[in-house]
Amino acid sequence: MNAEERLVDFICDTRLEDLPSSAVDTIKNQLLAVAGTTVAGAFEEGCAQAVRMARDMGGRQEATVLVHGDRIPAHDAAFVNAVMARALDFCDAMAPGAHIGAATVSASLAAAELAGAVEGGPFLTALAIGAEVASRLNLSEEAYDGFDPTGICVIFGVAAASSRILQLSKQETWNALALSFNRCGGSFQSNIDGCLGVRFIQGWVAQGGLLCARLAHAGVTGPKNFLGGIYGYLHLYGRDRIYPEDLVQDLGEKYALERMVFKKYPSCGMTQGVTDMTLRIAAEEGVNAENVEKILITVPPYAHKLVGHKFKIGDNPRVDSQFSIQYCVANALIRGASRLEHFEEGMVRAKEVQGLTERIEVKSDPGMEARGHTPVDMLVRTKDSREMARQIDIAPGFPGNPLKPEDHERRFRDCLAFAKRPVDEARALELVSAIRDLEHLDDVRRFVGLLSA
């Protein structure tokens, strides 16, 4: 049995009772995160344009644009909802950079509306299957070398979850994955240049994966050897350094989705450790923006390329600041926190922040790669000649340093509080209850209603 067949069997045959409780808990946290970020991000820059364009294009009223309430074709609803879920960059993630839930949840909700009544148990199973497929196909930083992992591997997870919800046959599921292979794409240049393309890649992945499932159900075929073929996924993106059997080893027994990352702060995953360290050193040593002379931060090359460049404000200040170590450190020192509102344009352009970023230097050290994905070294020099050194290997929210249950709910509440369209307490409690008891929900469309106008 080759890797493609094993993957398809896993997608089609896995049942809720096969999932370990730890995987179920992870998916519920993922759904909570995406629900919060969708509500909070629904009116962010780019989202209004996406909603308006979807309205103008029209089409069959198959699924719901969350928060806004419009009914449009299912794959277009998946697109718009995923853009909103990713807009604040506070959804779940995974090293080395794949954002899974914003796409799989958005597409799965649209697929559930397309299918009709879908109970919570099968929906939860589909989300777990999609997350596991995307996690398994998430490659290394070295292999990606600038490709955006979200655009490369997550579309397979969307196709898997959508295929399961739409009850595709094994052959149709195989074709859905194979067609998804031909839709991979996306570059981290969007993140570095601070453009809205970051969140729109998320939308294309959600839309593409669901569309591939629908095409496969209609009889459209894709390349059978999409993983291990001579020009397959592992040749093009794995650079022939990863083997098909590596992707499916212990499939169904060990769950890679449990490596999911839930951010403590609303910025890039590569800024989590340095933000946390800055807040700690300020609290412990009395360091503040006024008494800092120089801050030297050292990170591995991957992090430096993504978030270590000199901070500058372009067309999209939120994206520019989310993907900047200099900004995140300056913000944490000046404001004593890192919150969603700190990445709004007025806050980003504050003169005191701009001045402090000039005293923050970020360097790259290849030797740090041996310490893991998120190591950071920080040296702070104050104007009264003190020097303080700190280091961290595992950033908060990453495997080995997970958030607590109360942290997950606090993130969700922070998102609802930030939202341009408020969610009342009764609805907030109902959302949390529906997620925590998801396997007993009689119809997922109830959840859609709670997230809609």
Around Cβ 385, how many Cβ atoms within 10 Å? 7
Q: Tell me the C-alpha distance between 213 and 22, whole Å.
A: 28
Indicate whether 255 and 302 sit together in one domain: no
260 touches 157 (CB < 8 A): no
334 touches 326 (CB < 8 A): no
**Of all helices (H) and strands (E), which one includes residue 332?**
helix 325-335
84 touches 66 (CB < 8 A): yes
Say if 398 falls within a structural domain.
Answer: no
- Domain hosting residue 278, numbered range: 269-392
**Scanning the structure block, which residue is given the tokens 């089409």?**
59
Q: Predicted confidence band at 172 (pLDDT cuts at 50, 70, 90)?
A: very high
pLDDT digits (tens, 9 = 90+) for 353-383: 999 999 999 999 999 999 999 999 999 999 9
Q: What is the pLDDT, as a whole number, of residue 8?
A: 98
Indicate whether 223 and 366 sit together in one domain: no
**pTM (global) more than 0.75:** yes
Say if 397 falls within a structural domain.
Answer: no
Q: Tell me the C-alpha distance between 260 and 245, whole Å.
A: 22
Omega before residue 149 within 30° of 0, cis: no
Indicate whether 256 and 273 sit together in one domain: no
Indicate whether 224 and 123 sit together in one domain: yes
277 touches 392 (CB < 8 A): yes
Indicate whether 193 and 288 sit together in one domain: no
Q: Among 353, 368, 392, identify where a domain stops.
A: 392
The single-letter code of the amino acid at 401 is N
Indicate whether 84 and 208 sit together in one domain: yes
Q: Tell me the C-alpha distance between 433 and 443, whole Å.
A: 14
Q: What is the pLDDT, as a whole number, of residue 1?
A: 81
pLDDT digits (tens, 9 = 90+) for 254-290: 999 999 999 999 999 999 999 999 999 999 999 999 9
Q: Predicted confidence band at 141 (pLDDT cuts at 50, 70, 90)?
A: confident
What is the domain-level CATH number for residue 385?
A: 3.30.1330.120
Q: How many domains does the chain have?
A: 2
In the predicted model, is pLDDT for residue 453 greater than 70?
Answer: no
Q: Predicted confidence band at 422 (pLDDT cuts at 50, 70, 90)?
A: confident
